[in-house]
Structure 1
């Protein structure tokens, strides 16, 4: 169950904000600092909307490309590397 289905209260005391989950019979849960709460919400959103995750190390890909003996395979991988670098914001 997503944390987004839970209720929370925001409390600010002396300019310090924290959050507490509203539990059964309106019992408040542990205190969560604002950054911890934001990370928890972000993780919940990610887990609800991200279907797949890919991790690519472009340095390793580039090393593999440079060691390819076949020119045609090298070009295919080089195109992939260029595409991935553009998607990552690197040129």
Structure 2
């Protein structure tokens, strides 16, 4: 069952907001802090909408580019690398 198929209630105690899952027969589940609830929702949303995850080590990519023996090929890849870094806003 998806988290989006469940129901929750908000409980405020001493100006602190908590969430509780509404279970079978309207029984309330364990109290969750607001940040715990928000993280749970974010994780569920990410799992639903993110198709792939890519991890790039820019330092490693740059090191590999520097090892390319052909100067022209190295310059083409270096230009593309510089462009990608600039467009992505990574320094």
TM surpasses 0.5: yes
Q: Which runs of 4+ in 1 moved over 6 A?
A: none
Flag the 1:13–1:76 CA change in 2: closer, same or farther, 3 A.
Answer: same
Residues paired across the two proteins, number: 91
Richer in strand (by share): 1
Contact 1:2–1:48 at 8 Å: present in 2 too?
no
Residue 41 of structure 1: SS of its match in structure 2? helix
Flag the 1:68–1:33 CA change in 2: closer, same or farther, 3 A.
Answer: same
Counterparts of 1:80 and 1:43, CA distance in 2:
33
Counterparts of 1:69 and 1:44, CA distance in 2:
46
Which residue is equivalent to 1:33?
A: 33
Which residue is equivalent to 2:65?
A: 65
Q: For residue 45 of structure 1, report the CA deviation from its aligned partner.
A: 0.7
CA deviations over 1:8-38 (Å, ceiling 9, x no partner): 1111110111111111221211111111111
Name which structure has the greater RCO, CA cutoff 8 Å, separation 6+. Answer: 1
Residue 53 of structure 2: SS of its match in structure 1? coil
**What TM-score does the superposition give when structure 2 sets the normalisation length?**
0.82
The structure with the larger Rg is 2
Indicate the RMSD between aligned Cα atoms, in angstroms: 1.9
